[in-house]
Amino acid sequence: MKQSEIKNLSAAELQGQLSQLRKTYTDLKNAHAISPIENPLQLRTVRRSIARVATELSKRELQ
């Protein structure tokens, strides 16, 4: 997800997106541990998306 897309979401939508991304990341990590996934760069992009969403949530909590 891009930062501009994240800013347009509500706090509840961000929480849902964060939980979905975390589940996706653990699934990808487990699949990669068993046998190499086709595109290992997916791990990096999902991890960075998690960081973007978490950062936006914490930023909103501080305001």
pLDDT recorded at residue 24: 97
Pick the CATH number of 3-62 from 2.40.30, 1.10.287, 1.10.10, 2.60.40: 1.10.287
| CB contact at 8 A, 53 and 1 | yes
pLDDT recorded at residue 2: 86
How is the chain split into domains, by residue range?
3-62
Block means of pLDDT (10 residues each) for the chain, 63 residues, are 88 95 97 93 96 95 90
CA distance 35 to 32: 5
The DSSP secondary structure of the chain, one letter per residue, reads --HHHHHTS-HHHHHHHHHHHHHHHHHHHHHHHHS--S-THHHHHHHHHHHHHHHHHHHHHH-
pLDDT recorded at residue 52: 96
pLDDT recorded at residue 48: 96
